[in-house]
Amino acid sequence: MAANTAGNNGAGEETPRRPPSPRRLDSGLTAPQVRSSLALFSWNAGFRSIFETICGGTTFVFVAFACAFGFEKEQMGWVTLATSIACVLQIASLPFISMLGSARKVALTAAFVEPCLVIIAVLVVPFLGAQARVPVFMAAVFLASAFVNMSRPITDEWLASTIPAELRGRYLGRRLQIVSGATIISTLVAGQLVERLGSSNVHGLSLILAGGGVCGVLAVVALKGAATPASTSAANVKWGDFASVWRGDSFRRCLIFMALYNIPFFFACPYYQVFNLDVARMPADMIALMHTGYYLVKLITLPRLGKVADRLGARRTMAISAVIYTLFFAVFPLCGPGRYWPLMIAWAVVALADGAYSLAYQSAFYAAIPASAGRPAYFAVNNIVTIALFAAGASVAVPVLRLLRGVSFTAGPFVAGNFHILYGMCAVLMAPGVWFSRLLPEDRHTEFRQSSALVRR
């Protein structure tokens, strides 16, 4: 009798049972929260990739705009230097952000300011006097970079803590596909707009950049609905955390590998679009087509690359990628005005190396970071080391290019100027990457297989 009446409310009706509470994962989030948050992070990645494709400091739209209002092509390295110096604020700001109590709110606010500054700068600079344009623009670039760098360690940790470890490879692979797809679309649209408006139309270019800035704003808005993991809410970075990150062997090996492997890119990246526009004399629509091919190859091959990386292991994957990168840089000296077809083929091939590198390194890097309240410090140190090296490379490349400005070599139909020599040097510097790959911690766990599951689902 007691068993029968235990479920009744006295009126002969059964008491409604409460549904069981959703099980919480290690991050402190429920499975539905994780799914919705990862979806919002995917939207963030898509809008952010459009913003960076159009407004990034080395994109063809940004470079064309800067050159149109008075930048010398050799000076583009200073843009990388300015953004790199701003990265120091990651260390300076993190402990203070922790003191404010809501790292999430501060990070989203800082991230929102960045695209707003870009929009204001590109719309105002063309109307300034010739003497004021460059310094005002550089100040805006520095401030925009400062704000995004204040937010980046928090948002990076936020994403890393939201992704369940067993889904990390699969989600990162899908995220890269979203980024590639968004980049393809934005590159094609931007290329057509630049071609129609003209690569020297400073006011038309400013409107394209402002449109990219709007996508940067939408990227931040997408994150407002994402749930915050327990580790992100509990993040409390102290000054001592920046020293303690170096005690982790796996993390330290990842950083050393990244620094040595990417030496040629520290010199080369600021000048890709300068080479395309000024040396190879590529039309804007052809640059867009080249970039579209690059991202299309990456989009199609990412699932397969996950399988290959899993079978070969991180070290062998990086060694093979180093060979491809070396051949990639060796193609630049073969190009000249109107002879840019070798470059278009090279970018399509190097997409394979970039896709493999992204999957292997990012998964290994996330796995190397221990769970602690100081996790954002690991992301800050990684970002600072990376950007500091880009700053050093850019600051060296500027005087080197100026020194080589009058130097040229002729071999049959090929004439090599200062930019050809720079990229030839990058090919030489990339070759040891085959051996640098041995510095990366070998980790053949299932995360790469998770990425390859995309092809089956």
- Residue 84 CA from chain centroid, whole number: 14
**Phi, psi of 71, rounded to the nearest 5 degrees:** -70, 140
CA trace torsion 65, 69, 73, 79 (10° rounding): -70
Q: Report whether pLDDT(23) > 60.
A: no
Per-residue confidence (pLDDT) for residue 250, from 0 to 100 = 82
pLDDT at 171: 81
pLDDT at 217 over 80: yes
Q: What is the pLDDT of residue 401?
A: 83
Spatial separation of the C-alpha atoms in residues 155 and 223, rounded to whole Å: 9
Other CB atoms within a 10 A radius of the CB of residue 58 amount to 17
pLDDT digits (tens, 9 = 90+) for 336-380: 888 889 999 999 999 999 988 887 787 778 777 776 656 677 777
The answer to whether residue 239 is domain-embedded is: no
Domain with residue 59: its CATH number is 1.20.1250.20
> Cα(354)–Cα(264) distance, rounded to whole angstroms?
14
Total count of domains within the chain: 1
Identify the H or E element spanning 415: strand 414-416
At 42, is the pLDDT very low, low, confident or very high (cuts 50, 70, 90)? Answer: very high
Distance between CA atoms of 366 and 448, rounded to whole angstroms?
13
Q: What is the largest CA-CA distance in the chain?
A: 103
Confidence of residue 29 (pLDDT cuts 50, 70, 90): confident
Question: How much is the pLDDT for 116?
Answer: 94
Residue 22: how many CB atoms within 10 A of its CB? 11
Is there a domain that residue 235 lies in?
A: no
**280, 416 Cβ separation under 8 angstroms:** no
Which residue's structure tokens are 């400073």? 202
- Whether 92 is in a domain gets the answer yes
Would you state the pLDDT for residue 19? 46
Return the closest-CA partner of residue 420 out of 301, 296, 337, 304. 337
Of the candidates 271, 228, 246, 280, which has an alpha carbon nearest to the alpha carbon of residue 385?
246
> Is residue 327, in this structure, part of any structural domain at all?
yes
23 domain-assigned: no
Q: Domain containing 316: what range?
A: 28-230+245-456
pLDDT value at position 164?
82
Asked if residue 17 is part of any domain, the answer here is no
The answer to whether residue 252 scores a pLDDT higher than 60 is yes
Helices (H), 404-456: 418-430, 433-436, 447-452
How high is the pLDDT of residue 102? 67
Nearest to 230 by CA among 153, 330, 157, 171: 157
Which range has the worst mean pLDDT, 17-26, 324-333, 406-415, 433-442? 17-26
Contact 322, 434 (CB under 8 A): yes
Mean pLDDT to the nearest integer, 42-51: 93
- What is the C-alpha to C-alpha distance for residues 243 and 246, in angstroms, rounded to an integer? 6
CA–CA dist 73, 398 (Å, integer): 10
Residue 298 has pLDDT above 80, yes or no: yes
Residues paired with residue 416 on neighbouring β-strands, in sequence order: 409
Return the amino acid letter for 454. Answer: L
> In this predicted structure, what is the pLDDT of residue 101?
60
Q: Which residues contact 142 (CB under 8 A, 6 or more apart)?
A: 82, 83, 85, 86
Task: Give the pLDDT mean for 189-216.
Answer: 89
d(C-alpha 395, C-alpha 393), whole Å: 6
Mean pLDDT, the chain, whole residue set:
79
Q: Does 33 map to a domain?
A: yes
pLDDT tens-digit map of 56-96: 877 888 888 888 887 776 666 777 777 777 766 666 666 56
Q: How far apart are CA 95 and CA 239, in angstroms?
A: 7
Q: What is the model's pLDDT at position 134?
A: 84
AA letter at 190: A
Q: What are the pLDDT digits (tens) for 90-138?
A: 666 665 665 556 677 878 888 999 999 999 999 998 888 888 888 898 8
State mean pLDDT over 35-56: 92
pLDDT for position 455: 29
Residues ≥6 apart with Cβ < 8 Å to 35: none
Using DSSP, state whether 337 is helix, strand or coil.
Answer: coil
In a domain, 19, yes or no: no
pLDDT tens digits for range 384-425 = 788 778 878 877 887 888 887 777 676 666 667 788 888 999
Could you tell me the pTM of the whole model? 0.65
User: 319 Cβ partners below 8 Å, 6+ apart?
Assistant: 433, 434, 437
DSSP 315-335: HHHHHHHHHHHHHHHHHGGG-
Q: What CA–CA distance (Å, rounded) separates 363 from 448?
A: 8
Q: What is the mean pLDDT of residues 314-319?
A: 86
Mean pLDDT to the nearest integer, 39-68: 89
